[in-house]
Structure 1
Amino acid sequence: MTDERSAPAGARKTPEELRSARWFGPADLRSFGHRSRAMQMGYAPEEWAGRPVIAILNTWSDLQPCHSHFKTRVEDVKRGVLMAGGFPVELPALSLSESYLKPTSMLYRNMLAMEAEELLRAHPVDGVVLMGGCDKTTPALLLAATSMNIPAIFVPAGPMLRGNWHGKTLGSGSDSWKYWDELRAGKITDKDWLGVEGGIARSYGTCMTMGTASTMTAIAEAVGMVLPGGSSMLAADSGHIRLASESGRRIVEAVWEDLTPRKIQTFEAYENAIAVAMAMGCSTNAIIHLIAMARRAGHAIGLADFERFSRKVPVICNVRPTGDTYLMEDFFYAGGILALMNQMREHLHLGCMTISGQTLGENIEGAEVYNEDVIRTLDKPIYGEGSLAVLTGNLSPQGCVIKPAAMDQKFLKHSGPAVVFDDYPSLKKAVDDESWDITADHVLVLRNAGPQGGPGMPEWGMLPMPKKLLKEGHRDMLRISDARMSGTSYGACVLHVAPESFIGGPLALLRTGDIVSIDVDARSIKMEVSETELAARRAAWVAPAAHYERGYGWVFTKHIQQADEGCDFDFLRTDFGAPVPEPSIY
């Protein structure tokens, strides 16, 4: 689209201009304390004096399988920092394990973002290496780095190796849902299920399908915050060790260059991110996180921007769950993110500066595709439009999202009677009742599962198929909620209905038996209920009781924005009050 550099290099910093010099440099009593405490830890003045202090925000924990290699990988980052003449300091940060964190990791994305921002603001650091990858850690760390705006580089955890069971390739998440339905339908045994359980995750790293983890790390690279090719590097590959070290070396140079996130994260960079997400068959969660990230950078990205790119950028990445065969390991061997971006370069702003110190166009120049069935050409896509579609109508006036490339195409245009549930336990009980009088033409609806209703907007949106229908051979039906769903999920699931039902959005007014219609091509969703009847229902609606009366949950409830606004806290907007000042040293 453009070949002009968006952030030309300027004058290099001097040691006296380093942010950390405010802590360590002055010949006064306060700085004496800073220096003496560094010496207490065994560091000589030669190790920090006049050198960039590089924070390494490490989201490792013993309950974070995606990041289990970070315990040692952080040493590789430190090695790179030291090689480049920097002083590395590891700062542990909240670890948001998608597998274990309840009620949902989304409840705590903003907590990590706030913690990381304040860690950087309060400490004597000049730049930061962000170590993340599991779904919410990537956007959370980038939200923090963008708001703090010191030089930053992101090191993705990387996808795990492909799974295996009885000679079949397994994809995390996607095959969990698939074989769970087969077990419920009586097609496989409990012993089979145990084999799937043991074979689906064979190494450290994130989900190896195109779930939220790989979606968000690809977005981080597309927006310019990852070294070239880093987002598709496998966690267990030795190249990942070299990526960690190289990132450590590069961040030191970025500090001297004063290459900050906001110089990289331009509006055009976010357009690149949206285009890449659409081409990759991205997770539906990408919309929420990208909107929040862009707005932290000062850009009014919204659902309309996703819809704009959805209409013109086809899905060319043949990776599950949008694709039908391949996984991230295959994508990596096929050329990875650089090859994909080179294939779709006509849809990208090639002049955007990246953390590598080069433009996006320079990063992808000459990147080759080694398997054209994994990474397709634009004229031979696996789906003719982008991964996601935004629907609006009287059921969701602020918009909702569906993933048309990963669903039974017969539901792209569908009308049917709603079956409405107010909570997830009631839904789970109903779908296991084999005597339930339900057909595949019905529309399953779950409400009170949004940002406030969940609380935290849990990944309940891939509503379970009724057991009766599974045994009849059905594997998809139209499902609607104000929840999210895992990026590894699939099916005719309408998600992120906004405004959510818990605060009185139209979904709160829907009743069992009402006819619900969607038309993905027309981008519409509606309930066939008159405005007069809806007004009467609205007048009778009673707001549910709040989930929290104290603590972080109370803050979340009071300040969380809706899905179409990125689910950020309102007080973290760039236009909310004066900029946060640097901390006083005295």
Structure 2
Amino acid sequence: MVNAHCADAMICISNCDKITPGMLMAAMRLNIPAVFVSGGPMEAGKVVAPEAKPDLENIKVIDVRNMTKNITKLDLVDAMVVAADPDASNDKVAQYERSACPTCGSCSGMFTANSMNCLTEAIGLSLPGNGSLLATHADRKQLFLDAAKTIVKITERYYKDGDESILPRGIAGKKAFLNAMTLDIAMGGSTNTILHLLATAQEAEVDFTLNDIDSLSRKVPQLCKVAPNTQQYHMEDVHRAGGIMNILAELDRVDLLYTDLPTVHSPTLKDAINRYDLMNNPSEPITTFFRAAPAGIPTQTAFSQDVRFPSVDDDRKNGCIHSYEHAFSKEGGLAVLFGNLAEDGCVVKTAGVDESI
């Protein structure tokens, strides 16, 4: 399509599981200026405790703006689990089904779509917040506008100044793929991301293999545990804790990233991390950005609300994002296994495996 229309540059608007990796592969193949911006994650579903006795006939989702207790967060998987539970009442199943997917956007947890959108931040092809900012929030409209401004700037840099460092292959080299996988392991992302990153690296002609991933999995800690690995945290909570830039900041503090790499929005990844790091730069514009919150109202309209959390989550011991010192585990949320059952390797999402195993 892009070749047929002789496009000089492109904005890749993606969201679902296969769309983001498909567009990443196309960007590497075409190697023209490109910026990624996703539709964003949906708000997590919320249900109240049984004693609250909600009106199950009329309820679509619980309005949580003024509620602080008796709330359970959930996503589509929770609805599937409760529907398969023979001990669950029909009322409970109905409540979960009605509340699981309350808004537009990709799934509310760290599933494939959101994982891939987060990885575009680590690679350097999307703006900060791309992976975590809610689809319903007005701030995402500004993200789209900023992406439009960015593509104009980098297109001019390439065609006018001959700057090839801002082309997809100039940004997404071997070190950028290692950064993306480091993030994926630290945040306990979807195992599908490994397939997609390997395919994208092949299009970029980058030598990135399962052996690289295996090596990273043994030294990268798990700093984040998000649905479906827990009901406590969803993508809206990742954003409140500083989003992907703050997971990267924690990794950078223990020298697990290559930060001297260019991005579409900043001279280097290090510059971006320094600007968005809540622990070192809790400036008003940055904290306001990360306080973007769910409205708790069912809607299929993007950019339709501007609710904010009262504060950001900067608790790196017990919050959504942990520091290295307080990591969930010193080895990451994904692991590559080799053996007689998988001679060429297989992948396990250790973030979702019980500690006793």
Q: Shorter-normalised TM-score: what interval?
A: 0.7 to 0.9
Alignment RMSD: 1.5
Which residue matches 2:74? 171
Ranges of 4+ aligned residues in structure 1 off by more than 6 Å: none
1:295 CA displacement: 1.4
Which residue matches 1:303? 210
- Aligned sequence identity (%): 34
Q: Pick the structure with greater CA Rg.
A: 1
Tell whether the 8 Å contact from 1:154 to 1:220 is kept in structure 2 after alignment. Answer: yes
Measure the CA separation in 2 of the matches of 1:156 and 1:283.
17
- The DSSP-based 3-state class of the residue aligned with 2:338 is strand
Measure the CA separation in 2 of the matches of 1:388 and 1:156.
24
Residues 127-206 of structure 1 aligned to structure 2 (within 5 Å): 127-167=9-49, 168-181=71-84, 183=85, 186-206=86-106
Which residue matches 1:36? none
| TM-score normalised by structure 1 residue count | 0.48
Structure 1: give runs of 5+ residues left out of the alignment: 1-118, 413-586
Instruction: State the aligned residue count.
Output: 290
Tell whether the 8 Å contact from 1:318 to 1:324 is kept in structure 2 after alignment. Answer: no
Q: 1:391 aligns with which of 337, 343, 355?
A: 337
Which residue matches 1:353? 262
What amino acid sits opposite 2:79 in the alignment? S
Q: 1:246 aligns with which of 134, 146, 155?
A: 146
Answering whether residue 355 of structure 2 is matched by residue 409 of structure 1, we say yes
1:388 CA displacement: 1.1
Measure the CA separation in 1 of the matches of 2:13 and 2:179.
23
1:389 CA displacement: 1.3
Answering whether residue 109 of structure 2 is matched by residue 209 of structure 1, we say yes
Which residue matches 2:222? 315
Q: 1:400 aligns with which of 346, 351, 355?
A: 346
Measure the CA separation in 2 of the matches of 1:256 and 1:357.
15
What amino acid sits opposite 1:339 in the alignment? N
Answering whether residue 179 of structure 2 is matched by residue 267 of structure 1, we say no
Q: Deviations over 1:8-31 (max 9, x none)?
A: xxxxxxxxxxxxxxxxxxxxxxxx
Tell whether the 8 Å contact from 2:115 to 2:189 is kept in structure 1 after alignment. Answer: yes
Measure the CA separation in 2 of the matches of 1:175 and 1:374.
20
Tell whether the 8 Å contact from 2:262 to 2:269 is kept in structure 1 after alignment. Answer: yes
Q: 2:183 aligns with which of 276, 288, 293?
A: 276
Tell whether the 8 Å contact from 2:339 to 2:345 is kept in structure 1 after alignment. Answer: yes
Q: Deviations over 1:280-301 (max 9, x none)?
A: 1111111100111111111121
- The DSSP-based 3-state class of the residue aligned with 1:176 is helix
| TM-score normalised by structure 2 residue count | 0.78
Measure the CA separation in 2 of the matches of 1:142 and 1:269.
13
1:237 CA displacement: 1.0
1:323 CA displacement: 4.2
Measure the CA separation in 2 of the matches of 1:351 and 1:128.
25
Tell whether the 8 Å contact from 1:278 to 1:387 is kept in structure 2 after alignment. Answer: yes
Structure 2: give runs of 5+ residues left out of the alignment: 50-70, 159-165, 280-313
Measure the CA separation in 2 of the matches of 1:227 and 1:358.
13
1:261 CA displacement: 0.4
Which residue matches 2:8? 126
Tell whether the 8 Å contact from 2:72 to 2:231 is kept in structure 1 after alignment. Answer: no
What amino acid sits opposite 1:384 in the alignment? K
Measure the CA separation in 1 of the matches of 2:351 and 2:123.
24
Measure the CA separation in 2 of the matches of 1:321 and 1:371.
21
| Residues 323 and 166 (structure 1), Cα distance of their counterparts in 2 relative to 1, 3 Å cut | closer
What amino acid sits opposite 1:375 in the alignment? I
Tell whether the 8 Å contact from 2:229 to 2:351 is kept in structure 1 after alignment. Answer: yes
Residues 356-395 of structure 1 aligned to structure 2 (within 5 Å): 356-366=265-275, 367-368=277-278, 370-372=314-316, 373-395=319-341
- The DSSP-based 3-state class of the residue aligned with 1:209 is coil
- The DSSP-based 3-state class of the residue aligned with 1:318 is coil
What amino acid sits opposite 1:359 in the alignment? T
Tell whether the 8 Å contact from 2:221 to 2:331 is kept in structure 1 after alignment. Answer: yes
Measure the CA separation in 2 of the matches of 1:333 and 1:171.
17
Tell whether the 8 Å contact from 1:131 to 1:156 is kept in structure 2 after alignment. Answer: yes
- The DSSP-based 3-state class of the residue aligned with 1:385 is coil
| Residues 174 and 315 (structure 1), Cα distance of their counterparts in 2 relative to 1, 3 Å cut | farther
Measure the CA separation in 2 of the matches of 1:397 and 1:257.
46
